[in-house]
Amino acid sequence: MVAVGVFVAVRAVGVVVVAVCAWWSGKDPVAVLGASWDSVWYIGIAEQGYGRTQVWPEIGSVQSDLAFFPLYPGLMRAVCALLPWVGPAGAGLLVAWGAAVAGAVGVYRVGELVAGARAGLLLVVVWGVLPHSVVLGIAYTEALLAALAAWALYAVLRERWLWAAALAVLAGLTRPTGIAVAAAVSVAALYELLLKPRAPLRVWAAGLLAPAGWAAHLLAVGIRRGDPLGGYFAVQRDWGSYFDFGRGVAGSVARVLAGRTQLVTAVVPVVIVVALVLAVLLARGWAPLPLLVYCGTLLVITLGGAGFFESKPRFLLPAFPLLLPVAAAMARARPRTAVAVTVALAGLSYGYGTYLLISAPLPL
């Protein structure tokens, strides 16, 4: 498939650029790609299970690994069992890279179904050359969530309800924003039932089962913390992450506009504005309901949550349907225009992605 070949080529170049720059700066490329920031927490869970807590008395923060969902470290553990010589960091990279490729296929299928084969190809390409697409090549969960989301949305659009529900359950075990996949499946099932009250039982099952993975992790963490319904949210609050209806994001944007700040912080408001504009374009009557619900839920969670302001762009990386208006416009343009836009975005992606992993003063 041309789309997958282009995606793999684009992202492979990005990984090589980061690896070479890491080596040039005296850093271990595998550590930069597979054992930085959140990856360290996933490695700990994969090796020893849950139970690690990091205390920061100077800022009053208590960070527990219970904030992290189990599917990704579970897959890392499985890879280590099959290929013990790769190590946990290597296993995390193999899972992320495999998920990114599977996600590219799913993104293409969704784009092809909604806007045609040419737009599907360009959707994959643009997704692969976003400024923050470097995250698709490191040991983080965004690639895995994007893959599960893409195939779940494709299954919903093709009315394969049980497949959609199963993938939504797995997405809910991947990261907190996995609930966006469940929301898309459940709302689509509800809409189907409103249109067809005598819809098959599998539609009911999909709507009810889709949130099960996300709910299971929250309940398990809550029971472990002695508060079944609130324990997980207490863990997140200890990390400084909670839903504040966007007050934290608004305050951070105001600080960026008020004066000088780090590049990694200054870029975030730009990404937010672009995402909101694309969401409006997507909602102008032609995008299927599941895509709107999925992207809308991701936007609400990401922009309505406090903490980790610099991470907001990577939280939005799985929201690939937002790029459909761009892909559709490029599909209508001349081929050389699409090529020029792709090359420009790829150069920006390689440069900015390398900065994020090698030089940025704040965690990604």
| pLDDT in the model for residue 361 | 64
Residue with tokens 């909670």: 242
pLDDT at 60: 62
CA-CA distance, 250 to 110, in Å (whole number)? 33
Instruction: Select the more confidently predicted residue: 115 or 1.
Output: 115
pLDDT at position 288: 94
Q: Which residues of 87-103 are buried (b: 16+ CB within 10 A; e: fewer)?
A: bbbbbbbbbbbebbbbb
| Encoded tokens for 282 | 């997507």
The number of residues in the chain equals: 364
DSSP symbol at 333: S
Site of tokens 């003063």 = 361
The tokens 């599909």 sit on which residue?
A: 331
Alpha helices in 161-308 (DSSP H): 161-172, 179-195, 201-209, 212-224, 231-238, 247-258, 263-282, 289-304
Please compute the mean of the pLDDT values over residues 112-118 and round it to a whole number: 94
Using CA atoms, how far apart are residues 74 and 319, in angstroms rounded to an integer? 24
**130/145 Cα distance (integer angstroms):** 17
pLDDT band at 45 (very low <50, low <70, confident <90, very high): very high
DSSP 64-109: EGGGS-SHHHHHHHHHHHH-GGGHHHHHHHHHHHHHHHHHHHHHHH
Angle (CA) 316 320 326, round 5°:
115
Both tokens of 197, joined, read 């009250």
Alpha-carbon torsion (120, 126, 129, 132), positive or negative:
negative
Per-residue pLDDT, averaged over 84-88, amounts to 92
Structure tokens at 7: 């995606």
302 neighbors 255 (Cβ within 8 angstroms): no
Any idea which of 62-66, 86-90, 136-140, 174-178 has the lowest mean pLDDT?
62-66
The whole-number pLDDT of residue 58 equals 61
pTM of the predicted model as reported, rounded to 2 decimal places:
0.95
